[in-house]
Structure 1
Amino acid sequence: MSDTATDFVRANTRVAPVPFLPELVLHQAEEPIELWERTEAAGGEQPPPFWAFAWAGGQALARCVLDEPELVAGRDVLDLATGSGLVAVAAAKAGARSVLANDIDPFSLAATRANAEANDVKIQLYEGDLLSEGYAEAGVILAGDVFYSREMAAQVLPFLRQAAGRGALVLVGDPGRAYLPGEGMVLRHTYDVPVVEALESVPMRRTSVWQVVFTYR
């Protein structure tokens, strides 16, 4: 992980409590639209700054884990497409034996490392495409806001279903994105989650935590 990514994260965010999770803090963008436009202007050199915001699905999933620590306590956890690392931090706070935060974006992992330090927890980082490479070690897989596009949904859903089929607990946080699957999901919780209105066009999102279950096809 480069010092450039870490410096960029720290220069463009401030540490503040998460709206729906006041017991946690996160490096968050002070000017979300400005930061988004800046990274878009960089073209292919830098992906969108998903790591700079507390997205609704991640907040709901983190709230679920903190309120029900028995879901992760003493278990090995994978936070898939970690973004800011918010869900990974929550899992570590809830007593997970180990937490691996995965993303393909080095800026995301730089933010995750900074957020782990800010919350005084230990998180392992892995940069790479686990959806293609596979990963069979975690007993719990957490995924917030991963059904935001048809392409991403087509990649992530088989991965999650395969994990559920081998016995992993698979939980997804989602605010009703268009590509959330309509079957093979069991509703666990629903919350009204504060969001960044400049990005979501509303101040609150009704957001659910789902458990992915294995279904024979």
Structure 2
Amino acid sequence: MRGARIEATPLPLVPEISLFLLNEDYPQHGLTDEEVRWLMDNPAYWCFCWASGQVLARFVLDNPQWVAGKTVMDFGCGSGVVAIAAAMAGARRVIACDLDGDALRATELNAELNGVVLECIDDADHFSEHCDLLIVADVLYDRANLPLLKTFLERADDVLLADSRIRDFSEPGYIRLGGERAFTVPDLAESEEFSHVSLYHGGLTVQQAGSG
């Protein structure tokens, strides 16, 4: 894509972290039909830092007790921003998981950029060990992914999930912790509603409280 490049970019909501992202002044409105079709067929999610990822990374850095000394998996890691935040906040072990090989390579480079060590895998089913915490951001953009919410509760003791797409979130075993406003970097000029990110906690303690 003409005029596009990848460059180290500090995040506005998480200035402690920089990521290799698409340049802010990329030619968003100057693409040919062929380039648009190629991008639709080969979405490079990893070269953007989505709003929910920033909000969850900020939460983890501000509340290190959620990850300190624990084994943490970042499911659908994308650029790796939340996995990096978990490592910076003192997690004992961080596994970054994504089906996209380019995303895993980007995550490795971003981890190196920020001076942390992550383990990268392409399938969560390949990790059979105990996981204390599962961190998940921006996976509910497709409602077909909603059944994953139950699966998440089976994979770890606790789940921290950030989402800006689902407004009628009522999955058993989850409670809303709060929310924050953020934008995708670089800016995609998305609808204002997608800048409002909610944080949820899922886990056994939540399920027990709900049944008590």
**TM class, shorter-chain normalised?**
0.7 to 0.9
Q: CA deviation at 1:203?
A: 9.4
Partner of 1:23: helix, strand, or coil?
A: coil
Q: 2:154 aligns with which of 149, 158, 162?
A: 162
Q: 1:205 aligns with which of 186, 191, 195?
A: 195
Report how many residues are paired.
Answer: 200
Q: 1:117 to 1:149 in 2, by over 3 A?
A: same
Where does residue 21 of structure 2 map in the other structure? 28
Q: 1:39 to 1:73 in 2, by over 3 A?
A: farther
Kept in 2: contact 1:81–1:146 (CA 8 A): yes
After superposing on structure 2, the runs of 4+ consecutive aligned residues of structure 1 that deviate more than 6 Å are 34-37
Structure showing greater radius of gyration is: 2
Q: CA deviation at 1:50?
A: 0.8
Q: CA deviation at 1:206?
A: 1.4
Q: Does 1:41 align with 2:34?
A: no
The aligned amino acid for 2:202 is V
Where does residue 69 of structure 1 map in the other structure? 64
TM-score, length-normalised on structure 1? 0.80
Q: CA deviation at 1:162?
A: 1.5
Structure 1 segments unaligned to the other structure (5+ residues) = 1-10
Task: Write out aligned runs for 1:72-151 (5 A).
Answer: 72-128=67-123, 130=124, 135-151=128-144
Q: CA deviation at 1:178?
A: 5.8
Q: 1:17 to 1:186 in 2, by over 3 A?
A: same
Q: 1:203 to 1:38 in 2, by over 3 A?
A: farther
Q: 1:210 to 1:177 in 2, by over 3 A?
A: same
Where does residue 174 of structure 2 map in the other structure? 185
Percent identity, please.
Answer: 33
Q: 1:104 to 1:192 in 2, by over 3 A?
A: same
Q: CA deviation at 1:124?
A: 0.6
Partner of 1:117: helix, strand, or coil?
A: helix
Q: 1:122 to 1:133 in 2, by over 3 A?
A: closer
CA root-mean-square deviation: 2.9
CA offsets 1:160-184 (integer angstroms, 9 cap, x no match): 12235xxx11110111336844443
Kept in 1: contact 2:149–2:171 (CA 8 A): no
The aligned amino acid for 1:160 is F
Q: 1:12 aligns with which of 5, 11, 15?
A: 5
Instruction: Measure the CA separation in 1 of the matches of 2:30 and 2:87.
Output: 28
Q: 1:117 to 1:134 in 2, by over 3 A?
A: closer
Q: CA deviation at 1:54?
A: 1.1
CA offsets 1:87-130 (integer angstroms, 9 cap, x no match): 000000001001000000001001101110110100010012x2
